[in-house]
Amino acid sequence: MKKVKVFVCENCGYESPKWFGRCPVCGKWNTAKEVVKEIGKGSSAPLLSLFYLSQGNLESQIRFSSNIDEFDRILGSGFVKGQVILLGGEPGIGKSTLALQISDKVTERDLKVLYASGEESIEQMFHRAKRIGVQSKIAFTTEQNIDAVSEAAKDFDVVIIDSIQTFYTPELGSVPGGVSQIRAVAGKMVKTAKENQTVVILIGHITKSGDIAGPKIIEHMVDTVLYFEGERTTDYRILRVFKNRFGPSGEIAIFEMSSKGLKVVKNPVFIEDDIPFGNAIACVLEGSKPMIVQVQALVSRSKLPSPRRTAVGIDITRVNAIVAVMSKLLKLPLDMHEIYVKILGGMRITDPGLDLAISSAILSSLLEKELSKMVFIGEVGLDGKIRPPFAMNKRLETIVKSGFREVAAPVKHKGLVVHEIKNLSDLMKTMG
């Protein structure tokens, strides 16, 4: 093996044999760090080990429960031995709290958990544990050297690394938190997880500034990527599966944050009452989780040549498409109005079943007509037709269970008052 010196950008990972003041890829200044790399000589490539399906050397995935039903559900029935999970989110969102609660529940099953905190002192950890009522047999350490942690990890069933940005390996000369250290730390823990069948949860901070040097650079190395999101203004926290090698992605679990920690919200209803116009209730599914949400729209006259359009919690291009269909088919002067659309409760919704509620909220604000307490379900096509989204029965069940009596949708139903809406003109009629 030959050793060479290279310079690596601490922000984006760009490599150069020469020092650089400003990274030519990401444009950041003073991010060049010297790293010693080993490179193999010529053609001494090792032989491949080949495996054939017919040999039947298939190791089955061994699953075990986290002891939290909602967490097990989004993972696709619990942890898989040797699984590496990235748990990302903004600082203060509740990652350490969630990891601590999971650790606690896991130890209740007589499994061993190591909680390595490179960020907080033992006192801080114990304070949190006391505050949220954790009294289990979790082993804590504040060692930041990942080599020491991965050695110790061999004796545990679950290992938490909080956060990946605060650990380092002495093998690299660079400081913790940079691209090369984050990659090295993740790489070492992946190896440990696979060799010892330990579940590893890597916590990673994401900042709004969008620096590349964050957990995103290790998404490809891990089995499962979970992001914890939510608005600071509400107590709801959403745990979303972005990637999962052992189950479906797109699943979400909803929690409520309090001084006692996170509590699972089983049947989420995100509604703020008593706002007269521009509010429509919808039943949506994120993953397989049904929930009741409220869309709020504000439509106001504008003198600007291209009036403002903003969307919070939904893709703006979808709102624009719906607005275009409404303008054309209902002959509404929406191009002369500013339109703001928002999902209450800090939710981010991708389900197209929300379309009809978006249209209704916009129409209600424009016409200043109050909508009665009905739930809107439907996808709006470019032809103005309203189509039933997937899992219609599950949505209707949820609506009944949540105590609503009226629904506006392209369906028929015995237990509910149905405003059968097949196209946008039908929607106009429900507005009276």
Ligand X SMILES: Nc1ncnc2c1ncn2[C@@H]1O[C@H](COP(=O)(O)OP(=O)(O)O)[C@@H](O)[C@H]1O
Residue 230 interacts with ligand X (CB under 6 A): yes or no: no
CB of 132 to ligand X, least distance (A): 9
| The one among 88, 94, 346, 384 contacting ligand X by CB under 6 A | 94
Which residues lie below 8 Å from residue 222, measured CB to CB, with a gap of 6+? Answer: 84, 85, 86, 186, 190, 202, 243
**Nearer to Mg ion among residue 120 and residue 211 (C-beta):** 120
Query: What is the contact mask toward Mg ion in residues 95 to 124, using x (rule: CB under 5 A)?
Result: -x----------------------------
Query: What is the contact mask toward Mg ion in residues 37 to 76, using x (rule: CB under 5 A)?
Result: ----------------------------------------
CB of 262 to ligand X, least distance (A): 9
Answer with the entry of ligand X, Mg ion, none that 97 interacts with (C-beta below 5 to 8 A by kind): ligand X
Answer with the entry of ligand X, Mg ion, none that 27 interacts with (C-beta below 5 to 8 A by kind): none
| The one among 97, 192, 279, 423 contacting ligand X by CB under 6 A | 97
Residue 107 interacts with ligand X (CB under 6 A): yes or no: no
Residue 83 interacts with Mg ion (CB under 5 A): yes or no: no
Answer with the entry of ligand X, Mg ion, none that 233 interacts with (C-beta below 5 to 8 A by kind): none
A 10 A CB-CB count for 3 gives: 8
Stretch that binds ligand X, among 94-102, 312-320, 331-339, 366-374 (CB under 6 A): 94-102
Question: Under rule CB under 6 A, which residues in 239-268 are in contact with ligand X?
Answer: 257, 259
| The one among 32, 80, 95, 323 contacting ligand X by CB under 6 A | 95
Residue 92 interacts with ligand X (CB under 6 A): yes or no: yes
**Nearer to Mg ion among residue 31 and residue 103 (C-beta):** 103
Residue 91 interacts with ligand X (CB under 6 A): yes or no: yes
For the chain, how many residues are written?
Answer: 432
| The one among 11, 96, 296, 360 contacting ligand X by CB under 6 A | 96
Answer with the entry of Mg ion, ligand X, none that 94 interacts with (C-beta below 5 to 8 A by kind): ligand X
**Nearer to ligand X among residue 160 and residue 323 (C-beta):** 160
Instruction: Number of residues interacting with ligand X: please give it, by CB under 6 A.
Output: 11
| The one among 76, 82, 89, 230 contacting ligand X by CB under 6 A | 89
Give the Cα separation of 232 and 240 in Å (integer): 17
Stretch that binds Mg ion, among 89-97, 356-364, 365-373, 424-432 (CB under 5 A): 89-97
Answer with the entry of ligand X, Mg ion, none that 289 interacts with (C-beta below 5 to 8 A by kind): none
Stretch that binds ligand X, among 91-99, 165-173, 219-227, 281-289 (CB under 6 A): 91-99
Answer with the entry of Mg ion, ligand X, none that 89 interacts with (C-beta below 5 to 8 A by kind): ligand X
What does residue 240 show for φ and ψ, rounded to 5 degrees?
A: -120, 135
Question: Under rule CB under 6 A, which residues in 119-158 are in contact with ligand X?
Answer: 131
Widest CA span in the chain: 79
**Nearer to ligand X among residue 161 and residue 257 (C-beta):** 257
Stretch that binds ligand X, among 84-92, 148-156, 334-342, 360-368 (CB under 6 A): 84-92
Any idea of the CA torsion for 181, 185, 187, 190, to the nearest 10 degrees?
A: -160
Q: Which residue is nearest to Mg ion (CB)?
A: 96
Give the Cα separation of 150 and 146 in Å (integer): 6
Laid out side by side, the sheet with 139-141 consists of 139-141, 113-117, 158-162, 199-205, 84-89, 224-229, 236-244, 252-258, 261-264
Answer with the entry of Mg ion, ligand X, none that 93 interacts with (C-beta below 5 to 8 A by kind): ligand X
- Contact residues toward Mg ion (CB under 5 A) are 96
- Contact residues toward ligand X (CB under 6 A) are 89, 91-97, 131, 257, 259
